[in-house]
Amino acid sequence: MQNGFRLTIFEATKPTGNMHYKYLVHICVFALTGLIVSCNKDDNGNSNTTPTTTGGYTGSGSVTQGVGTSTTGNLFAAGQRVASIGTITSTDGKKWTVPAEVNFTNSLFPMASDLHNGYVPGHNYSNATQAVAGLSGSDIVTIDADGEVYTTYIFADNYFEMYVNGIPVGKDPVPYTDFNSCIVRFTAKKPFTLAVKCVDWEENLGIGTESNNGNSYHIGDGGFVAVIKDATGNIVVVTDNSWKAQTYYTSPIANLDCVTESGNVRSSTGCNTSAGTASSYGIHWVIPDNWYDIGYDDSNWPAATTFTNATVGVDNKSSYTNFTNIFDNSAQDASFIWSTNLLLDNVVLLRKKVE
Ligand SMILES: [Ca+2]
Ligand SMILES: [Ca+2]
Ligand SMILES: [Ca+2]
Ligand SMILES: [Ca+2]
């Protein structure tokens, strides 16, 4: 930021039902213009920049190359793949968390309930009725005390954190693999706004790759599907292309000039998706502090792209196939959604207003 300075003005405490969720409000003060504007800034202190050119890439993102440094060895020791967290520094000197900043270890962010979870004894439910019957009621997050109870069914490849009206309602209990599915319940009144952070996890931090069939740099894919039912069991919303989706981390990139940016459209559809290397590039964009709030303006975000079950590859996963009566309802079929690139875009934010 030029001609100005940044102040962290105050730390606010935001009530979220039976808990409090602390967040920082950052304000940029421009000395020359006198304007005060809200400023996008992530937990690493990075803020948005104007478009620059780096090695053939021109855009508002920051460019990294190669593998990051692990800072948390494994978020979920029981998991099939190691769910590590690390940091990596971009060519413009900014520090990024890879694959993503998450609230997995934040006890104030509620854990989603299990629709199907092989790591919890008895939670390999064969149908949704069984899974809901296993819930005590203490899982229900209050958005509006006089609202009705909504039940969300979710399958995510690999990890999600969901908010309703800016209030955290559930995070995925299995960050990487094996594949699980979830239930998130909340009381609310329409209209309400859904916001979901989706992470396609990675074994090779910062380069979006994992070991698969002998290839150490296989490019993993993402995908998110959800169905919300009201208290009488009617479907009120499914994932489809009426949702908004924005990309915040793309990797592995072989040639930086394959990523294009036009307004809020960040496209890697022209990039090679065969495999990564140890020296692949990544592109990172700053996630706005208030991206999950009701009032956040997503009007310029791209529409979500839909993908088939076969493309995401869920036909052999019981955490999905046991619940096709929910996710593949013949009258109101929920589609997998993501940004335009299911393979290379690894951190995708989704938003949807339910009227
Ligand atoms: Ca998961
Ligand atoms: Ca994945
Ligand atoms: Ca479906
Ligand atoms: Ca990926």
Q: Is 87 part of a structural domain of the chain?
A: no
Contact at 8 Å (CB) between 22 and 288?
no
Region 313-330: mean pLDDT is: 97
Name residue 21's beta-bridge partners: 14
Q: Is 50 part of a structural domain of the chain?
A: no
Closest to 226 (Cα-Cα) out of 163, 280, 284, 301: 163
Cα 32 to the center of its chain, rounded Å: 37
Residues 201 and 290 in one domain: yes
Query: Is the pLDDT at 175 greater than 60, yes or no?
Result: yes
Ligand closest to 177 (CA) is 1
CA distance 7 to 75: 32
Give me Rg for the CA atoms of the chain.
20
Report pLDDT for 45. 73
Ligand 4 centre distance from Cα of residue 250 (Å): 8
pLDDT band, very low/low/confident/very high, at 46 (cuts 50, 70, 90):
confident
Number of structural domains, the chain? 2
pLDDT band, very low/low/confident/very high, at 43 (cuts 50, 70, 90):
confident
Residues 175 and 318 in one domain: yes
Ligand closest to 201 (CA) is 2
Task: Output 97 or 13, whichever has higher pLDDT.
Answer: 97
Report pLDDT for 35. 36
Residues 6 and 122 in one domain: no
Range of the domain at 311: 113-354
Region 10-36: mean pLDDT is: 38
Report pLDDT for 41. 66
Residues 30 and 148 in one domain: no
331 three-state secondary structure: coil
Residues 123 and 34 in one domain: no
Q: Is 271 part of a structural domain of the chain?
A: yes
Ligand 1 centre distance from Cα of residue 160 (Å): 7
Report pLDDT for 44. 76
Ligand closest to 315 (CA) is 3
Q: Is 31 part of a structural domain of the chain?
A: yes
What residues sit around ligand 1, an ion, with C-beta below 5 angstroms? 158, 172, 174, 180
Predicted TM-score (pTM) of this structure: 0.89
Ligand 1 centre distance from Cα of residue 110 (Å): 15
Ligand 1 centre distance from Cα of residue 37 (Å): 37
Residues 146 and 2 in one domain: no
Ligand 1 centre distance from Cα of residue 161 (Å): 10
200: burial class by Cβ within 10 Å (0-12, 13-18, 19+)? buried
pLDDT band, very low/low/confident/very high, at 53 (cuts 50, 70, 90):
confident
Q: Is 99 part of a structural domain of the chain?
A: no
Per-residue pLDDT tens digits for 254-301: 999 999 999 999 999 999 999 999 999 999 999 999 999 999 999 999
Ligand closest to 80 (CA) is 1
Q: Is 96 part of a structural domain of the chain?
A: no
pLDDT band, very low/low/confident/very high, at 331 (cuts 50, 70, 90):
very high
Residues 118 and 22 in one domain: no
Residues in the chain: 355
Report pLDDT for 6. 39
Region 200-221: mean pLDDT is: 97
Ligand closest to 326 (CA) is 3
Contact at 8 Å (CB) between 171 and 111?
yes
Name residue 54's beta-bridge partners: 57
Ligand 3 centre distance from Cα of residue 306 (Å): 10
Average pLDDT, the chain: 90
Ligand 1 centre distance from Cα of residue 198 (Å): 10
Residues 315 and 203 in one domain: yes
